[in-house]
Amino acid sequence: MDFDSLDPIGPEEEPRGLFSSHRLRRGVYLLPSALTVANLLCGYYAVLATLDGRTADFDNAAIAIGIAYIFDSLDGRLARAMRTESAFGREFDSLADIISFGMAPAFLAYAWGVRALAMGGAPEALHLTQLGWLIGFFYLGCCAWRLARFNIQGMAPGNSRYFVGMPTPAAAGLVAAIVHFFQTPVADARISVLWLLLLIALGILMSSTVRYYSFKDIQWTKRRPSLFVILFALLIGAIVKFSGPTLLLLAGTYALHGIVLHTARVVRRHAASHPA
């Protein structure tokens, strides 16, 4: 065999291969970041729509928060699937979340559940307005606390299937689902008080140690029974056709399941430590 007849790899070909690999790597990193930017954009739009103060704008703001939830779910999963997780990506995602799931829902909750009542000239509106912005800030502070704690501690110790505390997208999703379902702003002071109590409860759940299922252990690429596919298709159809009640049911069920599991865990521990 005549080795002299083989074409050597020229010096100009090696940089080309390295450059192509570098370009591909940059593209892989940019895709999760682009989804994070989309999440941030949805939160920014939700704040602007809330400021307009019309019923349709409140609904648009709620829908934008829901879309931000989708982008937030995709960017993390995509980064893990492509093995492009980085410290920058985690911090960028948290900064986007504080806008989309902290600031935007707090604005929306105040404008939809308190400000509309104040604009109607109710005698108790002044006190509710002051209480409303204070509780809205409490919700925002708990959201920031939850995100900072997650960046440091991560998932539940010893069990990566669970979050510690209610996830901020889930809390924001419940606020958005209620607004999307009822749409018409609150005009009754008693309902406004209940609405503010709900915000306090969501803030406490976010900063608590109550565990919430993360769904991260579900292998979406694994083969599933045909019944699972049919049920999933029915769920998507229900969200599209009956978005209001379906999303409210999903968000409310997820919010309650953590409380139910935590209560069952406490009862089980008490029974184990105090046998009959």
Residue in 201, 231, 239 with CA at minimum distance from that of residue 67? 239
List pLDDT tens digits, range 133-177: 999 999 999 999 999 998 888 777 767 788 999 999 999 999 999
Contact between 129 and 118 under an 8 Å Cβ cutoff? The reply is yes
pLDDT digits (tens, 9 = 90+) for 78-111: 777 777 677 777 888 889 999 999 999 999 999 9
Rounded CA separation 199/136 (Å): 7
pLDDT averaged over every residue in the chain: 83
Instruction: Give pLDDT tens digits for 236-274.
Output: 999 989 999 999 999 999 999 999 989 988 888 877 777
- pLDDT at position 253 is 95
Q: How large is the average pLDDT for residues 215-240?
A: 79
| Angle formed by the axes of helices 55-81 and 168-182, nearest 10° | 150
Residue extents of the structural domains in the chain: 22-214
pLDDT value at position 118? Answer: 74
What integer pLDDT is reported at residue 20 of this predicted model? 46
* Residue 213, CA atoms < 13 Å, CB-side half-sphere: 10
Instruction: State the Cα–Cα distance between residues 249 and 243, nearest whole angstrom.
Output: 10
Q: What is the pLDDT of residues 8-62, one digit of tens each?
A: 444 444 444 433 445 545 555 678 888 999 999 999 999 999 998 888 899 999 9
Cβ(120)–Cβ(186) below 8 Å: no
- Paired residues of 163 in beta bridges: 212
What are the structure tokens assigned to 28, written together? 């892989």
Q: Length of the chain in residues, anyone?
A: 276
Nearest to 102 by CA among 133, 51, 142: 142
CATH class of 22-214: mainly alpha
pTM: 0.83
